[in-house]
Amino acid sequence: MGNNQINGNEHIVRDLGNNFPDGEKFFGLQNIDNICYSNCIFQAFYNCEPFKKKVLEYKSNKETKDNPISLLQEMFQEIQFSKKKTGVCSSKKIMKYVRKGNPDFKGENHQDCHEFSIWFLNQMNDILNKKYTKSKINPNPPPKNQPSWLEEIFGGILTTQTTCLNCQKITERDEPFLDLSLDMVSNSSLTYCVKKLSEIEKMSGDDKFFCNTCNSKHDAEKQILIKKLPQTLICHLKRFKYDDRLNRMIKLFCKVAFPLELKLTPNYIPPDKQNKHDLQTEMNYSLNSVIIHHGQGLSIGHYTVLIKKTDSWYLYDDEQITQVDEFQVYDYFGSNNNPSCAYMLFYQQKQDE
């Protein structure tokens, strides 16, 4: 498939021998102009089976042949339908689209892979949602009463509940998300960071809440609750923050342990429901991709991604792929002595659910 494929990573076939996983392909991506940030995202996307399946099934036309979905499909097809088990592909064509659509990703500067991921997913979702918009292509669109397939895979819902402490009226606002951005607590766990997301925040003083029922400002309590969990949960660890003293972004190296198997339950309960057990559904996830940031800061460094295929882990470093032991995944929890830390985690809903 394609003329941009070159040989590479044959050592994977040699090393695995008779244990080579059936149907798996091991293709790296060329790094031209410091695009390790996008290479890692594309590899994690390809490793997400529900997402890959939908991209490969996507039907494009003349009007949509150069959109992000069709371009990603072209890359996925090159890997999926190659007669070779290993190799290296180029993302030059899709990155040409990216840099034309968003000047922030132009040039050779180090970029934030999380910002790229959100931008790219939103670009894809805009294309999918156009089928609900009246146009020459689609003069009689169906009503927008269901999520796109991308939202079905990655989409969750957070609900912000604000309780007026004067009249006890609860105001709710739903916020859809495609990934969950989490503040970190040093020497903690991913589950603790998820739990911390829902800590009650006091609103008082200059931050008093305007209550429509009271028609005036009052002290209030605000809480962010998980209303719906997605099929594939992307967790973004906020490892970069602005330092007022240094007047720049700094990296947080604190340790946050993340499990290979994750159990989460939505903690949203409607105000008029008393039996919370009737509303909660536990989700069981399995970790299948870990994007790692190497370096001291946001503007300089490198990205790699750990990918799980069948029962083994592999480190994708642009063109190069190597097999690693499972315990090496834990090396990226974070540490002041190690500038290589997990930055984004992809959890796939377990197939037995």
Residue positions annotated with a catalytic role: 36, 302
Q: Is 113 helix (H, G, I), strand (E, B) or coil?
A: helix
Q: Which tokens in the block code for residue 139?
A: 């003069």
Nearest to 253 by CA among 234, 240, 235, 236: 240
Nearest to 236 by CA among 340, 318, 344, 326: 344
d(CA 240, CA 107): 22
Task: Give the DSSP letter of residue 127.
Answer: H
Angle subtended by helix axes 36-46 and 49-57, to nearest 10: 90
d(CA 326, CA 344): 18
Q: Is 108 helix (H, G, I), strand (E, B) or coil?
A: coil
Burial class of 303 by CB neighbour count within 10 A (0 to 12, 13 to 18, 19+): buried
| Rg value, the chain, Cα | 22
Decide if 321 contacts 12 (C-beta within 8 A). yes
Burial class of 274 by CB neighbour count within 10 A (0 to 12, 13 to 18, 19+): exposed
Angle subtended by helix axes 68-80 and 36-46, to nearest 10: 70
d(CA 261, CA 345): 12
* Per-residue burial over 237-251, b = 16 or more CB atoms within 10 Å of its CB, e = otherwise: bebbeeeeeeeeeeb
